[in-house]
Amino acid sequence: MEYRIALLKGDGIGPEVIDSARRILEAVGEKYDRHFQFSEYLVGGAAYVATGAPLPQETLNGCLASDSVLLGAVGGPQWDNLPVHLRPEQALFALRSGLGLYSNVRPVRMYRALKGASPLHPDIVAAGFNIIIVRELTGGIYFGERGRRTSHLYDSEEAFDTECYSVAEIERIGRVAFEMALGRSKRLTSIDKANVLESSRLWREVMHHLSAEYPQVELADMLVDNAAMQLIRKPAQFDVIVTSNMFGDILSDEASQLTGSIGLLPSSSLGNTTRGLYEPIHGSAPDIAGLGIANPIATILSAALMLRHSFGLLAAANSIEAAVEAALDAGCRTRDLLMGSQAPTLSTTEMTEEILKRL
């Protein structure tokens, strides 16, 4: 069977980490006798430079014609002053809505070998953690009405953004999270700001309504400010978390740092079909782009998520994850994972080869 994968390298370290993930996919394809057919498309700043648009129609069409999409990262300081609709990051919003992807799932786990790289107290790290953050992706304040207007109060300009969620939007992300919790420890924490926001009060109501359909899952609510604190105080208390677009954006970056490096964390975005968008949670890291030192693990693990969630190739996905863990256990470290240790630093290519060796 052939699987068509759209590769969107993007900007900065995007091309470097996508090349690594492609090598891993090719190797795993050989091992499990599966054929992956890759097509590359422009996205982000690179697409803007070549075509004048951060998400050319050809790229969206290519993604729609593929079985799944693997993306590097977009953005860079050279495009920061463009009008909003031309900025590279707009491509991400357009891709998510163009592909109908409303759930973003980010696994955050503590690797045995990297316990020393976590900024948390050793007693907290010793307990370990393995959290899944389910973030709503196509609603809320990032997509609500926004604008500028004259403020009569201060006799000057003011700006506004609007958080708006419908019952249907909350229900569909809630179902993703409840299903995820069913397949794990059956604990779900819904994070909101229901003491202040009306949209959060509706969020909470809908989650509780849904929980009647999932009596085996224990649902708990938590306010987002408390959640930000609890993630650092006792991350092991969480299993599956479900939250809105903006809260999920912020909390997942916070959680990622608990593992030691943003360069480790993959993500998957899915809608109603098996076609997903898989990408590392980090950005284009312009400060290290072109130096060959980016950590490829987040993108390699994103490829593993693709095999599992879009293609159902569980053994192949597990083997990639096991090879990554084995490389970390053997002391392989890119620069971002050093954290004061004296281990020799591996380049992006060397780390990829260490993982390949263990596949």
Residue 284 found at the interface with ligand NAD (CB under 6 A)? yes
Q: Which is nearer to ligand NAD, 199 or 243 (by Cβ)? A: 243
- CA-closest candidate to residue 135, choices 296, 21, 244: 244
Active site residue 214: no
Binding flag, residue 286, ligand NAD (CB under 6 A): yes
List strands edge to edge, sheet with 218-223. 35-41, 2-10, 68-73, 277-280, 266-270, 103-109, 130-136, 240-243, 187-192, 218-223
Please give the torsion angle defined by the CA atoms of residues 132, 138, 140 and 145, in that order, rounded to the nearest 10 degrees.
Answer: 160
Identity of the amino acid at 138:
T
Least distance in Å: CB of 289 to ligand NAD? Answer: 8
Using rule CB under 6 A, residue 248 touches ligand NAD? no
Give Cα 196 distance to the centre of its chain. 27
Decide if 123 is catalytic.
no
What are the beta bridge partners of residue 35? 2
Distance of closest approach, residue 153 Cβ to ligand NAD, in angstroms: 32
Binds ligand NAD by CB under 6 A, chosen from 67, 192, 249, 336: 336
As given in the structure block, the two tokens for residue 131 are 């959290």
Binding mask 204-223 for ligand NAD (x = CB under 6 A): --------------------
266 binding ligand NAD? (CB under 6 A): no
At position 3, the amino acid (one-letter code) is: Y
> Is 11 an annotated catalytic residue?
no
Closest distance to ligand NAD from the beta carbon of 82 (Å): 11
Cα three-residue angle 215-220-225, rounded to 5 degrees: 160
Q: What angle do CA 5, 349, 79 make, to 5 degrees?
A: 65
Pick from 117, 176, 262, 316: which binds ligand NAD (CB under 6 A)? 262
**Residue 112 CB neighbour total at 10 angstroms:** 10
Contact in structure between 235 and 115 (CB atoms under 8 Å): no
Return the residues of window 12-41 that contact ligand NAD according to CB under 6 A: 13
59 lines the binding site for ligand NAD (CB under 6 A): no
Does the protein bind ligand NAD through residue 104 (CB under 6 A)? no
9 assigned to active site: no
Using CB under 6 A as the binding rule, whether residue 282 contacts ligand NAD is answered as yes
Q: H-helix or E-strand containing 139?
A: none
State the residue for tokens 């229900």.
171
Residue 135 contacts ligand NAD per CB under 6 A: no
* Choices 20-28, 73-81, 117-125, 219-227; region in contact with ligand NAD by CB under 6 A: 73-81
Q: Is 253 assigned a catalytic role? A: yes
For ligand NAD, the binding residue among 210, 294, 300, 323 (CB under 6 A) is: 294
Is the separation of the CB atoms in 84 and 92 below 8 Å?
no
CB of 31 to ligand NAD, least distance (A): 25
Pick 96 or 193: Cβ nearer ligand NAD: 96
Q: Which of 33, 123, 157, 287 binds ligand NAD (CB under 6 A)?
A: 287
Based on the shown chain and the rule CB under 6 A, indicate whether residue 73 belongs to the binding site for ligand NAD: yes
Q: Can you tell me which residue has the tokens 């994070």?
A: 191
In contact, 303 and 310? CB cutoff 8 Å: no
- Of the ranges 120-128, 166-174, 176-184, 281-289, which one interacts with ligand NAD (CB under 6 A)? 281-289
- Report which of 125, 228, 226, 132 is spatially closest to residue 187, judged by C-alpha positions: 132
Catalytic residues: 142, 193, 225, 249, 253
Write out the residues near ligand NAD by the rule CB under 6 A: 13, 73-76, 89, 92, 262-263, 279, 282-288, 294-295, 298, 336
